[in-house]
């Protein structure tokens, strides 16, 4: 079975501005599914078409009302769509761009949700051909440690930031359209260049995930692991929550953003070495100074990831 028709396109909330007549979501999981839910609730989309490699996932998305219909063939799925969102692991972007290229409408806008932007821009430039001018690289800084269409939810992007990283070739019209789409679902939209995005996210998102994965792997390899996990408190749970994130997605992120991630990993290794020596020397002054600095920074800045005055789900 290659395609499935669902119920009539969602009409709830009609009367408001329809921003997208037909949205095609490639990879109907947490991010793509949540965007589709919000747009449907707002009456801002006429029809949502889903596509991915797994038909059972698409059927589940249709049953949940996240999409209206689906097609497992990429080129067929994007036909007639005026906006296409690729929300797949970074390692699949090149294949997806190649697969949708021949089915895109002449004026279709393409955007993505990848957490590393330079690699996505390279893939899009190589595979999309003339449609590259209508490609708007994007990264919603929102999510949870859960994945799949069942994890999708309304309001995921409310009070969160979305970073767009247009290239010199990006046409103004598609850029404005993608900005309006994210703003409609409650996000604050920022713009920067792909390289700067990757440097910042390596430190603020990619490194924390690596640390959470590494800590859980370390604890799991200790001979006392049964006792360790039995007595684990909230600190371990909170710190390692993101180690429950999708391994495929984070494998791809490490490879795609390798250079920026290596730099910040090496800097963290040096910081950890300094901390180790302070503990070894019983240097209470240095330890207290480090902890006090860290507390001030955390209290002053980490809450800024959420737009003031709005709610929102936690981001990994």
The predicted-structure confidence for 217-253, as pLDDT tens digits, reads as follows 998 888 676 778 877 888 888 889 889 988 998 999 9
Residue 69 — φ and ψ, nearest 5°?
-160, 175
- Contacts of residue 229, defined as CB under 8 A and 6 or more positions apart, other chains included, come to 219
**Higher pLDDT pick, 232 / 313:** 232
In this structure, of 135-139, 169-173, 249-253, the range with the lowest mean pLDDT score is 249-253
Closest CA to 84 of 51, 117, 123: 51
Is the pLDDT confidence value at 305 over 50?
no
Which tokens is 45 given? Answer: 């989309």
Radius of gyration of the chain (CA): 21
Q: What is the set of domains in the chain, with CATH numbers?
A: 3-192 (3.40.50.720), 197-305 (1.10.3660.10)
Instruction: Give percent of the chain with pLDDT exceeding 90.
Output: 77
Q: What is the C-alpha separation between 210 and 240, in angstroms, rounded? A: 10
Contact (Cβ atoms closer than 8 angstroms) between residue 187 and residue 162 = yes
pLDDT band at 309 (very low <50, low <70, confident <90, very high): very low
Buried b (16+ CB within 10 A) or exposed e, 174-183: bbebbbebbe
Please report the DSSP string for 181-196 in residue order.
HHHHTTPEEEE--HHH
44 vs 156: CA distance, rounded Å: 16
**In sequence order, which residues have a C-beta less than 8 Å from that of residue 135 and are 6 or more positions away?**
109, 110, 111, 112, 124, 128, 170, 174
How many whole angstroms separate alpha carbon 13 and alpha carbon 11? 6
Distance CA 43, CA 68 (A): 14
pLDDT tens profile 17-42? 789 999 999 999 999 999 999 999 99
Examine the pLDDT at 144 and tell me if it is beyond 80.
no
Which residues have C-beta within 8 Å of that of residue 285, sequence separation ≥ 6?
Answer: none
Token pair in block for residue 175:
């850029």
Phi then psi for residue 31, to 5 deg, are -75, -55
- The partner residues of 47 in beta bridges, in order of sequence, read 22
Q: Considering the chain, what is the average pLDDT of its residues?
A: 89
Q: Where are the beta strands (DSSP E) in 27-154?
A: 45-51, 69-71, 83-86, 109-112, 135-136, 138-141
Question: By the 8 A CB rule, do 155 and 186 touch?
Answer: yes
pLDDT range class, residue 5, cuts 50, 70, 90:
low
pLDDT for 7 equals 40
Q: Among residues 47, 51, 45, 94, which one has the least CA distance to residue 75?
A: 51
């Amino acid at each position: 079975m290659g395609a499935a028709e669902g119920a009539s396109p969602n009409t709830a909330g009609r009367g408001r501005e329809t921003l997208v007549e037909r949205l095609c979501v490639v990879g109907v999981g947490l991010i793509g599914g949540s965007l589709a839910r919000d747009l449907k609730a707002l009456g801002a989309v006429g029809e949502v078409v889903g596509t991915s490699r797994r038909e059972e996932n698409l059927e589940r998305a249709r049953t949940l009302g996240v999409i209206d219909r689906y097609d497992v063939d990429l080129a067929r799925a994007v036909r007639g769509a005026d906006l296409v969102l690729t929300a797949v692991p970074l390692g699949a972007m090149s294949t997806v761009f190649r697969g949708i290229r021949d089915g895109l409408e002449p004026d279709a806008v393409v955007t993505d949700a990848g957490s590393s932007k330079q690699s996505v821009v390279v893939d899009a430039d190589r595979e999309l051909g003339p449609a590259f001018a209508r490609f708007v690289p994007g990264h919603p800084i929102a999510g949870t440690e859960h994945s799949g269409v069942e994890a999708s939810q309304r309001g995921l992007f409310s009070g969160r930031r979305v970073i767009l990283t247009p290239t010199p070739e990006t046409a103004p019209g598609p850029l404005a359209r993608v900005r309006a789409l994210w703003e409609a679902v409650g996000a604050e939209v920022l713009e920067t260049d792909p390289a700067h995005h990757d440097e910042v996210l390596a430190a603020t998102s990619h490194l924390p995930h690596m640390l959470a994965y590494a800590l859980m792997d370390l604890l799991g390899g200790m001979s006392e692991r049964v006792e360790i996990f039995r007595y684990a408190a909230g600190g371990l749970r909170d710190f390692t929550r993101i180690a429950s994130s999708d391994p495929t997605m984070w494998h791809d992120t490490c490879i795609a953003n390798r250079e920026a991630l290596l730099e910040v990993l090496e800097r963290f290794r040096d910081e950890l070495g300094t901390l180790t020596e302070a503990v070894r020397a019983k240097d209470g002054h240095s330890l207290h100074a480090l902890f006090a600095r860290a507390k001030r920074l955390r209290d002053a800045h980490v809450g800024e990831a959420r737009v003031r005055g709005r709610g929102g789900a936690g981001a990994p």
